[in-house]
A and B are shown apart, each in its own frame.
Chain A
């Protein structure tokens, strides 16, 4: 049995990709399953999905802790999380109970004989993870923008997975995408995703990455039964795990979600404040001295509404560059 974890962001289609991979495997007369990490996922926030492929019936209904393969749909996640780690990092995004920072390592538990399939413009030998493992790399964001017009990298990364691991053929991936994406999104969109998968397959480079990258140790608020406040009534407090309770969301760096960021041209800006009015996250600030506006990049998700509403085209959306 092979176990696969997809790391992505809400909206990139990690769940759909896992289902399409399961479908692809079944087209090869294998047994497969796919399931999401049920949490309080929302567009842009880190999410995970899982798939298993085997020759016969799969009995386990548990999560995956020691994957054979990890697929990372978002280029920034490789910086935030250790890709060789299991699913631990994603629990922090479940919402509800405020529990501090979510920047966790995802490399732990990865089978050293397995592989990491990464969305990055870098070649495998330019990638450094915590483990020295086989990696497949492809600039999936660019391919997705070219073929789909938005950065949903799921189908492209399935092509990269087929190329890197040879667990399923690209032909089966195409059938899986037509089956699952076609059902959900219609045949036309499915066909464009098949194209993205093919390009992903063609452009993926496979090789060994270097290891030894260190990720900061993660601390998570997991009190024993005697330490938990009765009824989960939590007061605002600072702890070694970060802020808890009301006001704790200030530490969520939603700026890490974006693919594009707004750049303001102070010369063109007329200080009309339409962008300030429309920004859904309150990320636009006034700069009275310059009669212009500023952007809070810690929280700006790069939705681009400011750029759309600017009457003098003073705001340009620019692709993020891998850090």
Chain B
């Protein structure tokens, strides 16, 4: 069924179709509608689910950790300060290997900051043992919620996953979304069967216990290995989904015009769409520009990035958050991926606190890259885009 909806609705619909049985979430702008839609589905009797009202995000994540540990498919969602409040428990979800799905509607964490998109809420959570994927459209949010359960519940992965969508730019923008029917979702995503963590009074478990030093390191290694294996699983699930639904989101990364590209820009989230237009425009002018939409941030597809960028003469990275005194977190990943390459890598920090990243901004990034490709070196490695008093390039 095709409808014009925002990403919060698209997410809620997918959560219903995934037959999630426990939800605990606390409203926070710009995620609030997600909570409201799901509550309405349950109230209307079209969704059979236990909705736990909680007094904070800390309790929301605690509740879904418990329900998922008891062996039930669970969901939560949040943004910004709410995600920061969850931080402590995120390690438990990852450490206990619970395939929880969380919808993160990205928003800056203050102060200073407001209610608009920035990735300084989700980026600091990258080391908690959660997969993180960033999306570009409302359709992709919907589709990734369905894929997320299949990825997270795969026995090679068994890790929680965040589907990160740009606050307001997706959450409050309506666009056409193909909303999945129950029958087709049931065929794609079977009923959840807990493999390692479930409650059975006849066969009790010890869970979340203190893990002394003779054990902790092996458990950490297991998570690291599962994260690496998730790279294959993300690709496989994408192909399954494409076969079933006819929509291919191309797994870890998606590329445009990279084959012969001299300069490549790597993006996360909705800036990708704007950049697609700019790249096409540059191609028309004969500029060899390429674009990589990075979809998975954890695990980070370093090998794929290295392969795609191997013939480029300058690589740019778009960052919607900052690791102060260093650069953008995405830039650091790309530097790591290209560690044995001489190609100039330039970070473009911009769009913080929801500042618009318009075509002109993306064009200015490509201008800097084309200049670096010509000279063979970056003037500066960390550039701030559209920042008053700071000159780009």
B-binding residues in A (CB < 8 A): 39-40, 91, 94-98, 220, 222-225, 228-236, 245-247
Q: Interface segment, B91-99, B228-236, B378-386?
A: B91-99
Contact A94 B212 (CB under 8 A): yes
A235 to B197, CA, bound (A): 10
**CB-defined contacts of A232 to chain B, threshold 8 Å:** 95-96, 207-209, 211, 215, 219
Q: Say whether chain A's binding surface is mostly helix, strand, loop, or mixed.
A: loop
A183 to B139, CA, bound (A): 66
**CB-defined contacts of B218 to chain A, threshold 8 Å:** 223-225, 228
**Smallest CB-CB separation from B207: which chain A residue?**
A233
**CB-defined contacts of A98 to chain B, threshold 8 Å:** 206
Answer yes or no: B222 CB below 8 A from chain A CBs: yes
Q: A94-B212, A96-B211, A97-B211 are in contact. Are A233 and B197 (CB under 8 A)?
A: yes
Q: A94-B212, A231-B96 are in contact. Are A246 and B204 (CB under 8 A)?
A: yes
**Smallest CB-CB separation from A245: which chain B residue?**
B206
How many pairs of residues, A versus B, come closer than 8 Å at their CB atoms? 84
Answer yes or no: B158 CB below 8 A from chain A CBs: yes
Contact B221 A225 (CB under 8 A): yes
For the complex of A and B, the 10 pairs showing the least CB-CB separation, nearest first, are A96-B210, A231-B97, A94-B212, A231-B96, A246-B204, A230-B97, A225-B218, A96-B209, A234-B206, A233-B197
**Given A40-B210, A233-B205, A236-B206, 5 further pairs, Cβ under 8 A:** A91-B214, A224-B218, A231-B196, A232-B208, A232-B215
A97 to B205, CA, bound (A): 12
A6 to B183, CA, bound (A): 67
Q: A96-B211, A97-B215 are in contact. Are A245 and B205 (CB under 8 A)?
A: yes
Which of B69, B209, B215, B226 sits near A228, CB closer than 8 Å?
A: B215
**Smallest CB-CB separation from B208: which chain A residue?**
A232
Ordered by A's residue number, 18 sampled pairs between the chains whose C-beta atoms are within 8 Å are A91-B212, A94-B210, A94-B213, A96-B212, A97-B210, A220-B214, A223-B218, A225-B221, A228-B215, A228-B219, A229-B196, A230-B97, A230-B158, A231-B98, A232-B208, A234-B207, A235-B204, A245-B204
**CB-defined contacts of A229 to chain B, threshold 8 Å:** 196
**CB-defined contacts of B98 to chain A, threshold 8 Å:** 231
Q: Provide the B175-217 mask, 1 if CB < 8 A to any CB of A, else 0.
A: 0000000000000000000001100000111111111111100
A-binding residues in B (CB < 8 A): 69, 95-98, 158, 196-197, 203-215, 218-219, 221-222, 225-226
Shortest Cβ distance from residue A46 to the other chain B in the assembled complex, whole angstroms: 14
**CB-defined contacts of A245 to chain B, threshold 8 Å:** 204-206
A91 to B196, CA, bound (A): 26
A233 to B96, CA, bound (A): 7
A95 to B226, CA, bound (A): 27
A222 to B212, CA, bound (A): 11
Shortest Cβ distance from residue A47 to the other chain B in the assembled complex, whole angstroms: 14
**CB-defined contacts of B226 to chain A, threshold 8 Å:** 230
Most chain A beta-carbon contacts within 10 A, residue among B203, B207, B221, B226: B207
**CB-defined contacts of B214 to chain A, threshold 8 Å:** 91, 94, 97, 220, 222
A236 to B158, CA, bound (A): 22
Contact B205 A234 (CB under 8 A): yes
**Smallest CB-CB separation from B195: which chain A residue?**
A230
Shortest Cβ distance from residue B144 to the other chain A in the assembled complex, whole angstroms: 24
Q: A97-B215, A233-B196 are in contact. Are A228 and B206 (CB under 8 A)?
A: no
Contact A235 B205 (CB under 8 A): yes
**CB-defined contacts of B197 to chain A, threshold 8 Å:** 231, 233
**Smallest CB-CB separation from B158: which chain A residue?**
A230
Which of A39, A225, A230, A247 sits near B212, CB closer than 8 Å?
A: A39
**CB-defined contacts of A225 to chain B, threshold 8 Å:** 218, 221-222, 225
Q: A96-B210, A235-B204, A236-B204 are in contact. Are A230 and B215 (CB under 8 A)?
A: no
A96 to B219, CA, bound (A): 14
Contact B206 A95 (CB under 8 A): no
Q: A39-B212, A91-B212, A94-B212 are in contact. Are A230 and B207 (CB under 8 A)?
A: no
Contact A246 B206 (CB under 8 A): yes
**CB-defined contacts of A234 to chain B, threshold 8 Å:** 205-207, 209
**CB-defined contacts of A91 to chain B, threshold 8 Å:** 212, 214
Most chain A beta-carbon contacts within 10 A, residue among B69, B205, B208: B205
**CB-defined contacts of B97 to chain A, threshold 8 Å:** 230-231, 233
A239 to B28, CA, bound (A): 49
**CB-defined contacts of A230 to chain B, threshold 8 Å:** 97, 158, 196, 222, 226
Shortest Cβ distance from residue B384 to the other chain A in the assembled complex, whole angstroms: 41
**CB-defined contacts of B209 to chain A, threshold 8 Å:** 96-97, 232, 234
Contact B212 A97 (CB under 8 A): yes
**Smallest CB-CB separation from B204: which chain A residue?**
A246
Most chain B beta-carbon contacts within 10 A, residue among A39, A98, A223, A232: A232
**CB-defined contacts of B219 to chain A, threshold 8 Å:** 228, 231-232
A235 to B209, CA, bound (A): 12
**Smallest CB-CB separation from B216: which chain A residue?**
A232
A230 to B69, CA, bound (A): 12
**CB-defined contacts of A39 to chain B, threshold 8 Å:** 212
A232 to B220, CA, bound (A): 11
Shortest Cβ distance from residue B358 to the other chain A in the assembled complex, whole angstroms: 45
Most chain A beta-carbon contacts within 10 A, residue among B98, B213, B214: B214
Shortest Cβ distance from residue A93 to the other chain B in the assembled complex, whole angstroms: 9
Shortest Cβ distance from residue B224 to the other chain A in the assembled complex, whole angstroms: 10
**Smallest CB-CB separation from B95: which chain A residue?**
A231
**CB-defined contacts of B196 to chain A, threshold 8 Å:** 229-231, 233
Which of A95, A231, A236 sits near B210, CB closer than 8 Å?
A: A95
Which of A223, A231, A236 sits near B207, CB closer than 8 Å?
A: A231
**Smallest CB-CB separation from A227: which chain B residue?**
B218
A247 to B204, CA, bound (A): 9
Contact A246 B205 (CB under 8 A): yes
Shortest Cβ distance from residue B127 to the other chain A in the assembled complex, whole angstroms: 17
**Smallest CB-CB separation from A246: which chain B residue?**
B204
